[in-house]
Structure 1
Amino acid sequence: MSGAQEILTIGPARLFHGLDRLQRLNLAAHRERHRSVARLSLRELVALAGEVDLRGRGGAGFPFARKLTAVGQAAERRNVRPVVLVNATEGEPASAKDKALLARTPHLVLDGAVLAARALSAREIVIGVTDGGVPGRSISTAIQDAGLSGSVRLVRLPERFITGEGGALVRGVNGETPIPPGRKVRAAESGVDGLPTLLSNAETFAQLAVLAELGPEGYRATGTGTEPGTVLLTVTVPGHGRVVVETPTGVPLAEVLRRCGVSAGQGVMVGGYHGAWLSPAGAATVAVSRESMAEAGAALGAGIIVPLEQGTCPLGEVARVADYLGAESAGQCGPCRLGLPAIARSFSSLAAGSDGAEALLAVKQASGVVRGRGACHHPDGATRFLLSALDVFSEDVAAHVAGGGCGRPVRGLLPVPGEEVQETTTGLRLTVDWSRCAGHGLCGHIVPDLVQLDGFGYPVLTDAAVPARHLRGALRAADMCPALALGLTRAPSTAGHGRA
């Protein structure tokens, strides 16, 4: 099936059972490999999930049995029928596991959602998606084939980092702007249409279906004693794309990387852009489990694994992500609206070797100021990611502070949405006011694909129009030029809008 995510299994497949021969399991193929599960009462389902300590796979790792119980109690107290909400938005740029499930084994996700909905006597099942391509079409077809069109609603939401936050998803489903609410609202109490809502991600519901099929003993046959079963990881393979791996918990991370044909490189990002970095030594000893990751100072989160290969500037790579995270905020509180963009600017200055010591101090101080003060967890997650990078890449930090940089280019290895779009131009070109330019070289580090530096640190530009995918970086380079020498003007023979 064109557009389906590449997958890999370590050990016997469960979630990906049958995909060794087929690209996608339609309803008939699904039923050949997964038996139908009898309807379970809420008490039975809570006991089943609790017996293996099934946790949410969206990042927070909240006990699923407690969610079920909370929703059931809220619905009974209010005498209403709750809603089951499947979060398949997957806003993390480096994640693809939920898309893989929707694209290739959608009926497993539906089985888990239906199991929960029946136990709760839910009013409906809602599935939130952002990808209208293969995953969206696949789950839509599966809903029709399973005869669930009257009880399952598919909601398409904008593809943004914060869309996957629980409160933002609920708001989007309710027809509001999909950003985190300004105050903490528990979906179990008030979610879709104000009703108690069981909210978890697509993998969690797929795992629930497998658990109900295998039973507690069968489910515990693989994995660790405290974290049984398998887990889905999205591993970024440089030059190849993303591979979704199903692996038993407890398998060494080094083995996962080896099976994907990659090494730890300069370090490994675990858990996504709200996660943390592991040093090569740390990545060599840690296992795929919540407990092992926590001991190493990281978190498995949504199962995102990105090794950073050699030959690129790690601080420059992280600075690109910092800029993206600052722009992806909900903009409804000071830490997001002002704090994260300020931190991103300081991180870019550090990466460029411009006033490195001052920029480093600014990143640390500002991160301390915003932590714990946001309307949602975005500032906390973003600063955790950035401070972790300063720790793991401490030698590079020292080189940038002392010598103005590490000498390596920024190759754009960490995925940042907006940089992969088709090559359209903006009608604008970068220009330099040579009476002002002092050769700071910051522009060459912010947008290395547009600006090359000569031997003295002065920019070398072309007359070509700026590609749309580099517009944000070009604007930031112009804004951050210490001498105010860089600008954007209308390119010859175009109708673009200029900016001095």
Structure 2
Amino acid sequence: MIPYRVSKIRRLGPARLTAGLDEHRRMDLDTHYEIHGKLDGQSVDSLISLAEEVDLRGRGGAAFPFARKLRAVQANARTSDTVVLVNAAEGEPASMKDKMLLTRKPHLVLEGALLAASALDAKEVVIATPAGELAEGSMRAAVAERGLIGYVRVAGIQERFISGEGGSLVRAVNGELGQPSGRKVRTSDAGVRGLPTLLSNTETFAQLALLAELGPEEYGSVGTVQEPGTTLLSVSGSVKAPSVVEVTPGVPLAQVLDMCEADVGDGVLIGGYHGKWLSAADAYGAIVSRRGMQQAGGELGAGIIVPLGPDTCPLGETVRVAAYLAQQSSGQCGPCRIGLPALARALSELTMGDPQAHDLVKSAATAVKGRGACFHPDGTTRFVLSALEAFAEDVDEHIINGSCGRGVKNTLPMPITEASDVRLVVDWTRCQGHGLCAHLMPDLVKLDHHGFPVFMDAPVPAWAKSEAQRAVEMCPALALRVDSRK
């Protein structure tokens, strides 16, 4: 579970998605109607026209045109029932915006989902949220308040980093194991219960409700011509207080960092753990928009901004996340089972000053890129490789001196389960270098040039725990054990 607290709200521009939150901790239905009014139903063609006029894009990271999704489901609706699925499974540890909307403005999200469902004559609306969290309870209360139990289903799912991937989400909602299927199946063709499904992110449906409320002209009166309206950013890391910031695209990132009282050292992570690092200079020259971030060398993605303070080792912070991402894979394909642990190990060796590790990181990334069953390997390699570029001076320090002289302050947000997972531990007074553990678990254990095991400093992935236990039982020297760090 990822720890959640009600986020501080900040703004650079008008209050739209966050309207009313200065006065209300959570907006019930009556308060929602006072702020946003009641929306009239619209035809699917009208919604498509609205979305196309402002080029409404998904806010989950991929920025896919919403009108194209609507049109694809509309085409299949002629011969089949349809479903609307809200992807509120925010498995990204550094993101807060969707939980904020679900917890504090649930009816704005529901309004957008119901608007699309009415237009498509959908048979069901599903809100997929992390199970057991405040957001799930808030959405259940909102559905009950509208008298929609039975038509709108709140599905609490196990939250992992890959839980928000489209295929993983659909499988979890369908009662299967929440991991990518390995097959490229568009949800507009077959999603929830095998029906054509309109799947989009929490903020996207909130934006759709705002667009219908304001109309395209007023909606597009702020922002840029290419990216009208406002958007939400999750700002954490080395800041005075983690915040959800509503901004108009086109503002300098420097204004966001200054507003959040960021203490920026070597760089800023843009777009989350599948995003890219920018050097401090590039970050302060960047513009907050999809196009602006691309021009600066980053990717806005789901709107995640994480500055690193000057007192933490940027490579060490990146290693923490790389190891976490390797552990969070579903372990279905070679790039995840073998490639991501190898990538995390090579990066760890680089932080310890191994001059060959720099090339090993690049080699491991090349072996993984474009070969996974989902986008997780590609996103992880993008994150790691951007660190080598953004922190080039720090890389040189580690290679020359074996360290940059700074500790790891755990600035990058991580799930609270990070400190209590199962890990492999070796008793070096017993280990005789038989190497059997590396043969039994080639995905997790490598041998050094002396033939002794080298373990990845990360929890054992769920898919590998049985292999780890078997390796412990078969160790000839009884040197291996499974340990739980508290």
TM interval, short-chain normalised: 0.7 to 0.9
Q: Say which SS state the counterpart of residue 126 (structure 1) adopts.
A: strand
Of residues 47, 58, 61 in structure 1, which corresponds to 2:60? Answer: 58
State the partner residue of 2:359.
Answer: 361
Q: Say which SS state the counterpart of residue 268 (structure 1) adopts.
A: strand
- What's the offset of the Cα at 1:4? 2.3
State the partner residue of 1:110.
Answer: 110
User: Alpha carbons of 1:489 and 1:174: their partners in 2 closer, same or farther (altered >3 Å)?
Assistant: closer
Q: Which amino acid aligns with 1:18?
A: G
**Alpha-carbon separation, structure 1, partners of 2:459 and 2:371:** 31
Among the aligned pairs, what percent are the same residue?
A: 54
State the partner residue of 1:452.
Answer: none
- What's the offset of the Cα at 1:134? 1.8
**Alpha-carbon separation, structure 2, partners of 1:282 and 1:130:** 35
Q: Which amino acid aligns with 1:39?
A: G
Greater shift in the superposed pair: 390-399 or 427-436: 427-436
Q: Which amino acid aligns with 2:200?
A: S
Q: Which amino acid aligns with 1:384?
A: R
State the partner residue of 2:146.
Answer: 146
Please list the CA deviations of residues 406-445 of structure 1 after superposition, one character each: whole Å capped at 9, or x if unmatched: 1111111112224566xx7999998664999xxxxxxxxx
- What's the offset of the Cα at 1:230? 0.5
- What's the offset of the Cα at 1:155? 0.7
State the partner residue of 1:199.
Answer: 199
State the partner residue of 2:381.
Answer: 383
TM-score (norm 1): 0.84
Of residues 395, 415, 418 in structure 2, which corresponds to 1:417? Answer: 415
Show structure 1 runs of 5+ residues with no match.
437-468, 480-484, 491-495
Counting matched residue pairs gives 447
Contact 1:127 1:153 in 2 (8 A): yes
Of residues 33, 36, 39 in structure 2, which corresponds to 1:34? Answer: 36
**Alpha-carbon separation, structure 1, partners of 2:277 and 2:458:** 26
Contact 2:240 2:261 in 1 (8 A): no
Q: Which amino acid aligns with 2:21?
A: L
**Correspondence 1:352 to 2:352:** yes
Q: Say which SS state the counterpart of residue 24 (structure 2) adopts.
A: coil
TM-score (norm 2): 0.87
Alignment of 1:209-224 (within 5 A): 209-224=209-224
**Alpha-carbon separation, structure 2, partners of 1:375 and 1:224:** 36
**Correspondence 1:25 to 2:27:** yes
Q: Which amino acid aligns with 1:42?
A: V
State the partner residue of 1:407.
Answer: 405
**Correspondence 1:137 to 2:137:** yes
Q: Say which SS state the counterpart of residue 108 (structure 2) adopts.
A: helix
**Alpha-carbon separation, structure 2, partners of 1:367 and 1:428:** 24
**Alpha-carbon separation, structure 2, partners of 1:396 and 1:347:** 13
Q: Which amino acid aligns with 1:398?
A: D
**Alpha-carbon separation, structure 1, partners of 2:267 and 2:134:** 32
User: Alpha carbons of 1:292 and 1:114: their partners in 2 closer, same or farther (altered >3 Å)?
Assistant: same
- What's the offset of the Cα at 1:151? 1.0
Greater shift in the superposed pair: 255-264 or 233-242: 233-242
Q: Say which SS state the counterpart of residue 234 (structure 1) adopts.
A: strand
Q: Say which SS state the counterpart of residue 198 (structure 2) adopts.
A: strand
User: Alpha carbons of 1:432 and 1:85: their partners in 2 closer, same or farther (altered >3 Å)?
Assistant: same
Q: Say which SS state the counterpart of residue 356 (structure 2) adopts.
A: helix
**Alpha-carbon separation, structure 1, partners of 2:311 and 2:21:** 36
Q: Which amino acid aligns with 1:232?
A: L
Show structure 2 runs of 5+ residues with no match.
433-456, 472-476
Alignment of 1:310-321 (within 5 A): 310-321=310-321
Q: Say which SS state the counterpart of residue 148 (structure 2) adopts.
A: coil
State the partner residue of 2:50.
Answer: 48
Alignment of 1:455-470 (within 5 A): none
- What's the offset of the Cα at 1:8? 1.4
Contact 1:4 1:134 in 2 (8 A): no
Q: Which amino acid aligns with 1:401?
A: I
Q: Which amino acid aligns with 1:405?
A: S
State the partner residue of 1:459.
Answer: none
**Alpha-carbon separation, structure 2, partners of 1:239 and 1:261:** 6
**Alpha-carbon separation, structure 2, partners of 1:329 and 1:371:** 15
Q: Say which SS state the counterpart of residue 386 (structure 1) adopts.
A: helix
**Alpha-carbon separation, structure 2, partners of 1:345 and 1:173:** 34
**Correspondence 1:268 to 2:251:** no
State the partner residue of 2:339.
Answer: 339
Contact 2:232 2:303 in 1 (8 A): yes
Contact 2:84 2:125 in 1 (8 A): yes
User: Alpha carbons of 1:428 and 1:289: their partners in 2 closer, same or farther (altered >3 Å)?
Assistant: closer
**Alpha-carbon separation, structure 1, partners of 2:171 and 2:427:** 43
Please list the CA deviations of residues 335-380 of structure 1 after superposition, one character each: whole Å capped at 9, or x if unmatched: 1111001111111111122xx2221111101111111111111111
Q: Say which SS state the counterpart of residue 41 (structure 2) adopts.
A: coil
State the partner residue of 1:182.
Answer: 182
Q: Which amino acid aligns with 1:294?
A: Q
**Alpha-carbon separation, structure 1, partners of 2:187 and 2:157:** 18
Q: Say which SS state the counterpart of residue 357 (structure 1) adopts.
A: coil
User: Alpha carbons of 1:41 and 1:380: their partners in 2 closer, same or farther (altered >3 Å)?
Assistant: same
State the partner residue of 1:393.
Answer: 391
Q: Which amino acid aligns with 2:407?
A: P
Q: Which amino acid aligns with 2:396?
A: A
Contact 2:421 2:484 in 1 (8 A): no
Greater shift in the superposed pair: 188-197 or 131-140: 131-140
State the partner residue of 1:234.
Answer: 234
**Alpha-carbon separation, structure 2, partners of 1:298 and 1:101:** 25
Alignment of 1:271-310 (within 5 A): 271-310=271-310
State the partner residue of 2:441.
Answer: none
Alignment of 1:88-99 (within 5 A): 88-99=88-99
Q: Say which SS state the counterpart of residue 84 (structure 1) adopts.
A: strand
- What's the offset of the Cα at 1:470? 8.6
- What's the offset of the Cα at 1:75? 1.9
State the partner residue of 1:374.
Answer: 372
Q: Say which SS state the counterpart of residue 291 (structure 1) adopts.
A: helix
Contact 1:91 1:162 in 2 (8 A): yes
**Alpha-carbon separation, structure 2, partners of 1:299 and 1:184:** 24
User: Alpha carbons of 1:182 and 1:15: their partners in 2 closer, same or farther (altered >3 Å)?
Assistant: same
- What's the offset of the Cα at 1:237? 4.3
State the partner residue of 1:454.
Answer: none
Q: Which amino acid aligns with 1:342?
A: A
Q: Which amino acid aligns with 2:374?
A: C
**Alpha-carbon separation, structure 2, partners of 1:177 and 1:142:** 27
**Alpha-carbon separation, structure 2, partners of 1:488 and 1:413:** 31
Contact 1:57 1:201 in 2 (8 A): yes
Q: Say which SS state the counterpart of residue 92 (structure 2) adopts.
A: coil
Q: Which amino acid aligns with 1:91?
A: G
Please list the CA deviations of residues 240-267 of structure 1 after superposition, one character each: whole Å capped at 9, or x if unmatched: 5531111111111110111111143210
